[in-house]
Amino acid sequence: ILNVEQSPQSLHVQEGDSTNFTCSFPSSNFYALHWYRWETAKSPEALFVMTLNGDEKKKGRISATLNTKEGYSYLYIKGSQPEDSATYLCARGGTSYGKLTFGQGTILTVHP
């Protein structure tokens, strides 16, 4: 993998469903993996920053895991709510300085 890739590109779920999406990234020279949530007309908001292989982080109903050896991270949302509707971006830091390489994002729509 040469770039940061996210799948699926878009996802429609019903309220109450649990869902997950994937971020794949080059595993060489890995430094950090970020997840952001970007609601329409608002600022992208940081969810997690992960650096260690095997890291798992949780914030409310949202959690994320990291596998730096194989180059992927999963984001899970348990019991999706309409307010979870947003674009979820992941970004890889491949050097010590703050450059992030973003994926295209997964657009999540949660239907009431």
45 binds other proteins (CB under 8 A): yes
Residue 1 interacts with other proteins (CB under 8 A)?
no
71 binds other proteins (CB under 8 A): no
- Under the criterion CB under 8 A, does residue 7 sit at the interface with other proteins? no
Q: Own/partner pairs for 22-26, CB < 8 Å, 24+ apart?
A: 22/72, 22/73, 22/74, 23/72, 23/73, 23/74, 23/75, 23/90, 23/103, 24/71, 24/72, 25/1, 25/71, 25/72, 25/73, 25/90, 25/92, 25/101, 25/103, 26/1, 26/2, 26/71, 26/92, 26/94
Q: Does 53 bind other proteins (CB under 8 A)?
A: no
- Considering only 20-28, 34-42, 53-61, 66-74, which stretch makes contact with other proteins by CB under 8 A? 34-42
Binding status of residue 97 toward other proteins by CB under 8 A: yes
Residue of 14, 53, 81, 101 that binds other proteins (CB under 8 A): 101
Q: Is 89 an interacting residue with respect to other proteins (CB under 8 A)?
A: yes
